[in-house]
Structure 1
Amino acid sequence: MTIQITRLVRILMSIPLLLLIPLVAMQFSAEVQWGLLDFMVAGFLLLTAGLTIELVLRKVTEPRQRVLLCLAILAVFLLVWAELAVGIFGTALSGS
Structure 2
Amino acid sequence: MTLEKQKTAIIFAVPALLMITAFLGNLFVEGWNWSPFDFAIAAVLLFGTAFFINLVIRSKKPLLTKLMICFIILLLLALVWIELAVGIFGTPFAGS
Return the TM-score normalized by structure 1: 0.88
Match in the other structure for 2:62: 62
**Equivalent pairs: percent with the same residue?**
34
**1:43 matched to 2:10:** no
Match in the other structure for 1:27: 27
Query: Structure 1 residue 14: deviation in Å?
Result: 2.9
Structure 1 runs of 4+ aligned residues shifted over 3 Å read none
Amino acid at match of 1:94: A
Query: Structure 1 residue 23: deviation in Å?
Result: 1.8
Name the CA shift for 1:60/1:72 in 2 (closer, same or farther; >3 Å). Answer: farther
The secondary structure found in structure 2 opposite 1:93 is helix
- The C-alpha deviation readout for 1:24-79, integer Å capped at 9, x for no partner, is 22233332110111101100101110010110111143111111000000000000
Of residues 48-57 and 1-10 in structure 1, the stretch that sits farther from structure 2 once superposed is 1-10
Name the CA shift for 1:65/1:26 in 2 (closer, same or farther; >3 Å). Answer: same
Return the TM-score normalized by structure 2: 0.88
Match in the other structure for 1:4: 4
**Unpaired stretches in structure 2, ≥5 consecutive residues:** none
Name the CA shift for 1:13/1:38 in 2 (closer, same or farther; >3 Å). Answer: same
